[in-house]
Amino acid sequence: MEPDDENGLVKLISRMEIKVDDKASCTRIFIDGIMVDQELRKEKISKLSSIVSQHHIVRAHLLRVQRDLVKHIGTGAIFEGRDIGTVVFPKAPLKIFVTANSRTRAQRRFEEIQKAHGTATFDEILESIEKRDDRDKNRTTAPMQKAADAEVIDTSNMTIDEVMDKTLDLINVAQKKYQGAQLW
């Protein structure tokens, strides 16, 4: 199926059984009984998700799926995505807009791909990141943008430990302040 086949994508999504197992030390996502956690992180999926998410009908179906997932997981769920804080959960008590400049993101992705014995070059990755950013910022349905009330963490010059410390500080403050808050 092609990523621009909106009707085909809607049919596919409506037939999928998406389940979450949050009993383990980390949440696992299953589609039709197959664990897809690692697949969702692959570069090909990242590129396709940006293309597929441009379709209004597809976004509407996925919005329902995402909100159903948080009902299953309950409070304390952490979601990531380019429209999570503005469209999916606009009333979430804590929204963190994580960013970094495109060269830093490309370098991090390049290092990940090298560890996995991938073949993409730094320049190819940088170009892909910049195209995706442009596509996601300019799509008509749920464009990527920072929510007005989001906390911003620019990770361009931060270590992973510094990012985690900042994130955990924000979570701790929010947990005390917003227990039982509505998400959408």
**pLDDT tens, residue by residue, 17-36:** 888 777 766 778 889 999 98
Phi-psi region of 33 (alpha: psi -120 to 50; beta: other; left: phi over 0): left
The predicted-structure confidence for 72-90, as pLDDT tens digits, reads as follows 776 677 888 888 999 999 9
Q: For residue 96, what pLDDT is reported?
A: 96
Which tokens in the block code for residue 161? 């430990």
Residue 65 covered by a domain: yes
- Do the bridges between strand 34-35 and strand 28-31 make them parallel or antiparallel, or are there none, so unpaired? antiparallel
Q: What is the pLDDT of residue 147?
A: 95
Number of domains, the chain: 1
Q: Where are the beta strands (DSSP E) in the chain?
A: 18-21, 28-31, 34-35, 96-99, 151-154
Provide the CATH number for the domain around residue 89.
3.40.50.300
On whether residue 85 sits in a domain, the answer given is yes
Backbone angles phi, psi at 96, to 5 degrees: -120, 120
- pTM, two decimals, is 0.76
The answer to whether position 165 is within a domain reads: yes
Q: Which range marks the domain in which residue 31 is found?
A: 6-177
At residue 43, does pLDDT exceed 60?
yes
Q: For the chain, what is the mean pLDDT?
A: 86
* In-domain check, residue 183: no
Angle between helices 43-52 and 122-138 (to 10 degrees): 20
